Amino acid sequence: MAVQRRIDLALDSVKRLQRIGATANLLNLLQKQHPADLAQIFSELNDRDREAAFSMLADRNGRLAMEAVSELGPEAGSALLATRPADEIARLAQEIPSDDAAALIDNLPEDLSSSVLDLMRPKESGVVENLLEYPEQTAGRIMNPNVFALSEDMTVGEAIGELQASRDVEMVFYLYVVDARRHLVGVVSLRRLLLVSPETPLKRIMTAELMSARVDTDQEEVARQVASYNLLAIPVVDEENKLVGLITVDDVIDVIKDEATEDIYRLAGVSGDESVNTPAPESLRKRLPWLGINLGTAFLASSVVALFERTIDQVTALAVFMPIVAGMGGNAATQTLTVIVRGIALGELNWTNSRKALAKEAMVGIGNGVVLGVVAALVAWLTRGSPVLGLLLCAAMIINMFVAATAGTLIPLGLRAVNIDPALASSVFITTMTDIFGFASFLGLATLFLKYL
């Protein structure tokens, strides 16, 4: 709360100083902010004020300005950066670690990003271009190539000297040890250096068994490794086990958030790279295919209704109640599906324990069906005066809730088994099934017992 309040106060001051044009005071205020706070302030200003504030700060304190842009995230950050000329972007990009620069440059419009790379110092643009060569969502793409390493032939005293001389190295807490050809051979903690005498050879106190990630490891796998072994950072090596970079826990937190967003989105049929800031035409293009598939399945379900048109023609009340059976099945299926998909994502569910999960969901489904079916039956009976209609509604709801539970469990597990992301395709399958079974069970039963209605 206190943090949010401080940011709100700063935001109010920024707006006020911009309004009255007090440039010197404004610059002074901006320079006092933490990059993360600046990012939040930027995101709450309107486009014009944000660009004005950014360009003013970029002139004076390029590093802070770029750290704030970096905190905005690649999409919003690049959009803000793109408002500046290419030569200025090239200068600014050199102020931040190359992995952060690469993420921003990668999101600039194509022609702008290549001019920026041309205008950067050859050494730095080379590093950025190297990073951009790794496929997206791999360790190589998100690592910081500027990793601090000690030679295995050093003593502890020399190591401390090296550390004291180094500046600008990202979060040093594990010290990686390499051989003459930069192969990763061990790790020493900073704390361990304090516990031994300066003459001790590094080799003697280093731990040779250590976790590392390969440049081509999937970022989700890296995040799982760092999170489950409670690491603060993980070294990244190439195919020859040479140390090429470092991924720190704050990068991992970003990956975990992104992957959670992806899961949430996929369950709803939204593509992972969409956000509230995506322009309308792009959002439309991304969402239409999913809705198109849904339209196809909706017609499939409606063709089931068409099979029973003669029954509906005789008892119109059926048309009033049939959406309830289908809709409640869909809601119950969504609950089951969500628990199962999240269970798979968190590694709690696999084939071994899937039988237990299926039995449980089936029981919950029948239980829900009985309780809600009885309530719905009473409402139908009271409003329509037909106990038979109520009984049919109850029976159809129990059947459909059972279908919802089993489909909601088996479909994601089945997709997982054939290596399709269960979150991606599950919801369209199961709502189609609950619509079809909902309509078929209710209208089918009604057709069988038509003479009692």
Instruction: Report, in Å, the least distance between residue 56 CB and its own copies.
Output: 20
**What is the footprint of its own copies within residues 98-157 (CB under 8 A)?**
none
Q: Is 164 in the site for its own copies (CB under 8 A)?
A: yes
Q: Is 413 in the site for its own copies (CB under 8 A)?
A: no
Q: Which is nearer to its own copies, 125 or 400 (CB)?
A: 400
CA distance linking residue 220 with residue 297, whole number of Å? 32
- Tell me which of 101, 134, 263, 412 binds its own copies, using CB under 8 A: 263
Q: Is 331 in the site for its own copies (CB under 8 A)?
A: yes
Q: Is 339 in the site for its own copies (CB under 8 A)?
A: yes
Q: Which is nearer to its own copies, 135 or 367 (CB)?
A: 367
Q: Is 348 in the site for its own copies (CB under 8 A)?
A: yes
Q: Is 294 in the site for its own copies (CB under 8 A)?
A: yes
Instruction: Report, in Å, the least distance between residue 419 CB and its own copies.
Output: 13
The window from 94-102, 140-148, 234-242, 277-285 that contacts its own copies (CB under 8 A) reads 277-285
Q: Which is nearer to its own copies, 105 or 333 (CB)?
A: 333
**What is the footprint of its own copies within residues 219-258 (CB under 8 A)?**
221, 225, 227-230, 232, 249-250, 252-253, 256-257
**What is the footprint of its own copies within residues 350-369 (CB under 8 A)?**
350, 352-353, 357, 360, 363-364, 367-368
Q: Are the CB atoms for 176 and 187 separated by under 8 Å?
A: yes
Q: Which is nearer to its own copies, 141 or 361 (CB)?
A: 361
Q: Which is nearer to its own copies, 173 or 452 (CB)?
A: 173
HEC states along the chain?
CHHHHHHHHHHHHHHHHHHHCCHHHHHHHHHCCCHHHHHHHHHHCCHHHHHHHHHHHHHHCHHHHHHHHHHCCHHHHHHHHCCCCHHHHHHHHCCCCHHHHHHHHHCCCHHHHHHHHHHCCHHHHHHHHHHHHCCCCEHHHHCECCCCEEECCCEHHHHHHHHHHCCCCCCCCEEEEECCCCEEEEEEEHHHHHHCCCCCEHHHHCECCCCCEECCCEHHHHHHHHHHCCCCEEEEECCCCEEEEEEEHHHHHHHHHHHHHHHHHHHHCCCCCCCCCCCHHHHHHHHHHHHHHHHHHHHHHHHHHHHCHHHHHHCCHHHHHHHHHHHHHHHHHHHHHHHHHHHHHCCCCCCCCHHHHHHHHHHHHHHHHHHHHHHHHHHHHHHHCCHHHHHHHHHHHHHHHHHHHHHHHHHHHHHHHCCCCHHHHHHHHHHHHHHHHHHHHHHHHHHHCHHHC
Instruction: Report, in Å, the least distance between residue 261 CB and its own copies.
Output: 6
Residue type, 308: F
Instruction: Report, in Å, the least distance between residue 110 CB and its own copies.
Output: 23
- Tell me which of 28, 31, 207, 275 binds its own copies, using CB under 8 A: 275
CA distance linking residue 347 with residue 87, whole number of Å? 47
Residues binding its own copies: what is the number (CB under 8 A)? 113
Q: Is 265 in the site for its own copies (CB under 8 A)?
A: yes
**What is the footprint of its own copies within residues 185-224 (CB under 8 A)?**
190-191, 193-195, 211, 217, 221
Q: Is 261 in the site for its own copies (CB under 8 A)?
A: yes
Q: Is 180 in the site for its own copies (CB under 8 A)?
A: no
Q: Are the CB atoms for 159 and 187 separated by under 8 Å?
A: no
Residue type, 248: T
Instruction: Report, in Å, the least distance between residue 196 CB and its own copies.
Output: 10
Q: Is 372 in the site for its own copies (CB under 8 A)?
A: yes
The 21-50 site mask, x for binding its own copies (CB under 8 A), equals -------------x-x---x--xx-x----
Q: Is 322 in the site for its own copies (CB under 8 A)?
A: yes
Q: Which is nearer to its own copies, 201 or 272 (CB)?
A: 272
- Tell me which of 110, 279, 385, 419 binds its own copies, using CB under 8 A: 279
Q: Is 305 in the site for its own copies (CB under 8 A)?
A: yes
